[in-house]
Amino acid sequence: MSKPAVLTLDDKEYVFPTIKGVENEKAVDFRTLRSATGYISYDEGYGNTGSCQSEITYIDGEVGILRYRGIPIEQLADKSSFLESSYMLLYGDLPTQFELDQFTTRVRKGAAVSPMMCDALKGFPRDAPPMGMLGSMLGAMSCYNASMATNDRAVDLEHFDEAAAAAIAQTATAAALGYRVTKGLEGNQPDPSLSFGDNFLHLMFSEEGRPYKAIPEVSRALDLMLLLHADHEQNCSTSTVRMVASGGANLFASVAAGCGALWGPAHGGANMAVIKMLEEIRATGDDGSKFIEEAKSGKSGKRLMGFGHRVYKNFDPRAKIIGKACEELLNKLGIDDPCLDIARHLEQAALADDYFISRNLYPNVDFYSGIVLRALGIPSDMFTVMFAIGRMPGWVANWREIAMNPKMKINRPRQIYQGPALRDYVAMEDRG
């Protein structure tokens, strides 16, 4: 037990317990602050606030460490698969072969979506944003899987294994279906003989009589991308899932909310923004040097997308892994993508520039992921959708951690009111 914290307020001393995590993270336990002192803590953006104690993922932003259930991301990237790491995120430990086979079968069996979802997708405009369609479909899954989405915690937990597999599998199926519907193409049926990533590529790109067959390097690169996105502690979208889950909402309603949070360019939308930035730089003939000056000036409102992070003040370990995989994949496929050269130049220039160094701005997971996804044939307006497919196991694991906690209270932050002081209603005829 670590030493208590002493806080002096209005000349009175208050003592609060402290909490120490497995990796020596420390927190002052302020759960009695308001009742004891009349004060609340204030931390806009929650950068200094712990919302929960979780056993799922650990990040050390200063050093650049990421571990799923204690295992370093570098080892998982090298030795594990997306589904094996997903199982571990959901249930706590690496699966036995039997457990992995069972889970894989559940995911493959749960991949088909209701034909009514296909009809619903046909109701969207052809130029509908894929993340808007995906978020709608995730919410709709609570309708198409109603027996697993009752908002009765005991019942929803009883169906968790099936619901988790459905959420992970059907996110990919719905994403591919949305892509094909907007292209005016018929949807493909999931192929249970294929791996998770190969099945997604089949759902996206197979045509009548011409099934899509991924080469091993493509399969490996996609599986790695999904694994690297699978969870990331209390990021914006995962915290949103926990916020919604804390009210007792079912798994699908909670991950649908997380999907909305991921959409923003400061979060999951950054991978699309990186490619847009690289293409803009390429179109001007600049090697990136001019853009960096603009991003530093802040005047243009431009930022070096794919750089910086709320937690990592060092290299995002995922960026290193993806950067290497990107080089290998493009070499293997014989793709000479000028955006990769520009990205490399931006990285080298920024890492030697005091503006970025002094602000601890390093490449994050999004910096190279768009180049990899483009090499895999994924359209750029689906890059954030790929992030959501990868992040689904993390969202589901966090939903389960809340649902399994009998002491979990509904999340309800406080505020400091800065609006008009007390005043009376003014009749219309007396208004200015």
Q: Which residues are catalytic?
A: 309, 366
| Two tokens, residue 232 | 């990331």
Which one of 140, 141, 165, 270 is in contact with ligand SDX (CB under 6 A)?
A: 270
Tell the smallest beta-carbon distance from residue 359 to ligand SDX (Å). Answer: 4
Size of the site for ligand SDX (CB under 6 A): 22
Query: Rounded distance, CA 140 to CA 385, Å?
Result: 16
Tell the smallest beta-carbon distance from residue 386 to ligand SDX (Å). Answer: 13
Q: Does 165 bind ligand SDX (CB under 6 A)?
A: no
Q: Does 298 bind ligand SDX (CB under 6 A)?
A: yes
Region for residue 334 given its phi and psi (left: phi exceeds 0; alpha: psi -120 to 50; beta: otherwise): left
**Binding piece for ligand SDX, criterion CB under 6 A, among 72-80, 124-132, 191-199, 297-305:** 297-305
Tell the smallest beta-carbon distance from residue 146 to ligand SDX (Å). Answer: 30
Give the single-character DSSP code of 18.
E
Which of positions 176-235 make contact with ligand SDX (CB under 6 A)?
232, 235
Which one of 64, 197, 306, 317 is in contact with ligand SDX (CB under 6 A)?
A: 306
Closer residue to ligand SDX (CB): 55 or 101: 55
Tell the smallest beta-carbon distance from residue 302 to ligand SDX (Å). Answer: 8
Tell the smallest beta-carbon distance from residue 96 to ligand SDX (Å). Answer: 29
| Two tokens, residue 108 | 């493959």
Q: Does 240 bind ligand SDX (CB under 6 A)?
A: no
Closer residue to ligand SDX (CB): 67 or 180: 67
Helical spans, DSSP H, in 229-316: 236-245, 251-262, 270-284, 289-297
Closer residue to ligand SDX (CB): 307 or 383: 307
| Two tokens, residue 175 | 């994403």
Q: Does 263 bind ligand SDX (CB under 6 A)?
A: no
CA distance between the termini of the chain: 62
Give the single-character DSSP code of 143.
H
DSSP letter for each residue of 40-81: ----TTSTT------SSEEEETTTTEEEETTEEHHHHHHH--
Q: Does 288 bind ligand SDX (CB under 6 A)?
A: no
Cβ-based neighbours of 231, under 8 Å, separated by 6 or more:
56, 57, 68, 89, 238, 391, 393, 394, 397, 398
Contact footprint for ligand SDX (CB under 6 A): 232, 235-236, 266-267, 270, 295, 298, 303-311, 359, 361, 364-366
